[in-house]
Amino acid sequence: MTSGRILSGCVLGVWIAAGCAVAGTFPSGIAREALAESESLDRLSVGADYELMRRDVRYGSAGEKTSIESEFVGGFLGLDLVSWLTLFGTAGAASVKDDASGVDGDWIFSWSVGLGAHFWKYELREPSWMAGVLSIRGVAEYARRSSENVGWSLDTVEWSEVSIALPVCYEMFEDLSPLVDRSLQKSLNLYVGPALSLWDGRRKGTWGREDSEAEQEFGVIAGVDVFLARNLSVGGHVLVLDDVSARGSLRYHF
């Protein structure tokens, strides 16, 4: 009898504790008035990125050529410094696959910071089947990537990369009429342009450390953005250097 009461009491205690823990996670139990309130967040943008990078690099004084394949998953945060210039950063984790062993390395914290600029635009209205907005944009980004336990004898692979691109964009709207609220329209933005990628890397293993340099620094970037509204888009691009890298993104601009 006593053991039954003890068991019942334990079950009741666990149920109450679980109920309190779960109840504490619901926002409905929090005061309705906030400590601070923002009138506008129109300078902020948020999003998510997935990147698959493939790159040929040379290691050490012997110039041993190898291929690096890396994945990056992270979040995006942007701040409009002025109407045409955005400061942005990403933070997430990266993993590297060893070319020789085919082993995926551990996911390690990685980040980047950069600037995006909208330099020039022009609206094409005639002929009607070519109606759209031409623009020239630019982006410069500094990224740090690393991964550990890559392959049998390779402990760490890490690198920093400075990338610069200057694409020409062509955005097509549902309707370019001045009377139409463009913020509610869907649009398709296509772009292509030259790109530069400066690489500074290294790897460490049981045999020591070697620095790396990229096989190719100049290339081409091309991509597409689908705007579901003025401030919501999904897109992707490819970067063609010695190999092809790709990135997919989701963006929401307040």
pLDDT digits (tens, 9 = 90+) for 132-181: 999 999 999 999 998 888 766 667 888 999 999 999 999 998 776 666 66
> What's the pTM value of the predicted model, to 2 decimals?
0.82
Instruction: Determine, yes or no, domain membership for 33.
Output: no
| Residue 72 · residue 108 · CB < 8 Å | no
Instruction: Determine, yes or no, domain membership for 4.
Output: no
Amino acid at 190: L
pLDDT confidence band for 212 (50 / 70 / 90): confident
Instruction: Determine, yes or no, domain membership for 160.
Output: yes
Instruction: Determine, yes or no, domain membership for 9.
Output: no
Instruction: Determine, yes or no, domain membership for 174.
Output: yes
Distance of alpha carbon 239 from alpha carbon 115, whole angstroms: 18
pLDDT confidence band for 209 (50 / 70 / 90): confident
Average pLDDT across the chain, whole number: 85
Instruction: Determine, yes or no, domain membership for 32.
Output: no
Instruction: Determine, yes or no, domain membership for 37.
Output: no
Whose structure tokens read 């009491």? 9
Reply yes or no on whether the pLDDT at 11 is more than 80: no
Amino acid at 27: P
Distance of alpha carbon 138 from alpha carbon 125, whole angstroms: 24
Chain-centroid distance, C-alpha 227: 17
103-125 pLDDT per residue, tens: 788 999 999 999 999 999 999 88
* pLDDT score recorded for residue 1: 45
| Beta strand pairing call for 187-205 and 44-59 | unpaired
H or E segment to which residue 3 belongs: helix 2-23
Instruction: Determine, yes or no, domain membership for 19.
Output: no
* pLDDT score recorded for residue 18: 45
pLDDT confidence band for 210 (50 / 70 / 90): confident
Domains held by the chain: number: 1
We report the CATH number of the domain holding residue 69 as: 2.40.128
Distances (CA, A) of 179 to 122, 175, 182: 18, 9, 9
Mean pLDDT of 69-76: 96
For residue 189 the two structure tokens come to 């933005």
Instruction: Reply yes or no: is the peptide bond before residue 27 cis, omega within 30 of 0.
Output: no
Tell me the residue range of the domain where 228 lies.
43-253
* pLDDT score recorded for residue 52: 97
17-70 pLDDT per residue, tens: 444 444 455 666 677 788 788 788 989 999 999 999 999 988 876 677 888 899
